[in-house]
Amino acid sequence: MGYGHSGVSLLDGWLPITLQLVAAFTLGAAMSVWKKRWWAIWIPAAVAVGIIVLLVAMWYEDSQGLASDPPPSLLWWWIAIFGFAVAIFLFGIRRFSWWRRVVALLAILLSFASAALVLNQWVGYYTTVQEAWGQLTQGPLPDQVDASKLDSYRGQPMSTGKVVSITTPKGQSHFTHRTEYVYLPPQWFAGPTPPQLPVIMMIAGEFNTPQDWLRTGNAIQTIDNYAKQNGGKAPILVFPDVGGSFNNDTECVNGSRGNVATHLTDEVRPYVIKNFNASPAAKNWGVIGWSMGGTCALDLTVMHPDLFTAFADIAGDMAPNAGTKDQTVDRLFGGNINDYNAFDPTQVMAKHGPYTGVWGWFDDSSGKNDPQTKRFQQYMNHPHFKHRGGGGGSGNGLGGRDNAGFQKPGSELSAAETLCNDAKTVNIDCAVHTHDGGHTWQFAETAFADMLGPMSTQIGV
């Protein structure tokens, strides 16, 4: 069975537009009551509820610093429509016939599903219905086998690698994490004992699970293709948990949301070395991260060049980011600015001084073929944006993201350029690469496929 992005698309095609049209029709049927009192009192009241729900959602998105790019206006519309549908149901529950109540309830479910669908189209989290179902039902991952069966594959011809779940310790970090995963390439099974192979740590973005790179980022197909092209040789990939829960934005730091940095450096890395005979040498370890994970990849490498000597930052920020700088210091570090500074890569590099043998790859959007670019320009000129302090480059407005100032949607490009320039001043060999597209998992997938070969070479595959 293949594990590519086959199936009914959730990003384009007939399903998204059909669902939204059905939701709109159902809501229209629910509210089609031809009584003057209904239209004079309850419909305006439902509109007011929808507006309130919308404003609360916009306030929450801004205050929590949830995204570096402005959400599509269609998302805000469906959030407001969802609030409106809920109000229609509540106002009409004692006035409607039984069948109209059913239709009104269905309108709530469909409008919520439409909002969720637009959100998914924005970030590209699930590409198909089948992929979403597999994730939600915890179906097997691509190449996944039980760890107890690994020995049975040793010495056999392997067309693909194998993925196993791992349970790493938490005695040092006390970070309660979810199940994590390791990919073992065909080369790992070739001899009587596992060879000491290089390793890449794969870190997902905000709102993540350890499975995201394997399912949504299509990393297993990418690494299997690379191994086939190179006679079975490829790095070990490790997929750690950096959130503990889906909505816990830790930015991979040691802080109030968990000692994630310690978990990665002192628990995950030693576990992989011990249990899979991975190379312990820093020159054989790299980190790849997407969005928040990109910032993590850079941070881990410049803070621990004795453990990692290669990083790939895909659309990361200037520094750990959970809103404005003040919000980040408060939310992640309990208000301690010194703790924040210890994880600010610019300050870490300046304090460390010249590095030896460290290599970096920054990847970001060129802004071409990116539907978010137009929305960004509209957002910059919108009164709501100006009211939130837009135009001053303070990081307020778009959820307070991008501490270096506003970036083009889907692109933290100036942050990448600034960080790479800073890295070069301390002898880190880095370059900034760009691709078409927006801030989505599909962009991350393409970037990973492009950088996998150069990074594998760099860490000694």
Q: Pick from 27-41, 224-238, 245-259, 355-369 the range whose average pLDDT is largest.
A: 224-238
Q: Which domains does the chain possess?
A: 14-123 (no CATH), 141-458 (3.40.50.1820)
Considering only residues 456 and 412, tell me which one the structure prediction assigns the higher pLDDT: 456
Using a pLDDT cut of 90, give the percent of the chain over it.
64
Dump strand ranges (E) for 306-406: 310-314, 359-365
pLDDT digits (tens, 9 = 90+) for 95-136: 888 888 899 999 999 999 999 999 888 777 777 787 777 767
pLDDT value at residue 390: 38
pLDDT digits (tens, 9 = 90+) for 193-240: 999 999 999 999 887 889 999 988 999 999 999 999 999 999 999 999
pLDDT value at residue 373: 46
Dump strand ranges (E) for 277-374: 285-290, 310-314, 359-365
pLDDT value at residue 385: 38
Does position 380 have pLDDT exceeding 80, yes or no?
A: no
Instruction: Give CA–CA dist 240/237, Å, rounded.
Output: 10
Instruction: Give CA–CA dist 295/345, Å, rounded.
Output: 8
Task: Please state the pTM of the whole predicted model.
Answer: 0.79
Average pLDDT, the chain: 86
Q: Which residues pair with 258 in a beta bridge?
A: 255
Within 10 angstroms of residue 34's Cβ, the number of other Cβ atoms is 6
Q: Which amino acid is at 157?
A: P
Does position 65 have pLDDT exceeding 80, yes or no?
A: no
For the chain, the maximum distance between any two Cα atoms, rounded to a whole number of angstroms, is 82
454 token code pair: 């150069």
Sheet with 359-365: strands ordered across: 162-166, 180-184, 236-239, 199-203, 285-290, 310-314, 359-365, 429-435
Instruction: Give CA–CA dist 301/310, Å, rounded.
Output: 7
Instruction: Give CA–CA dist 374/372, Å, rounded.
Output: 6
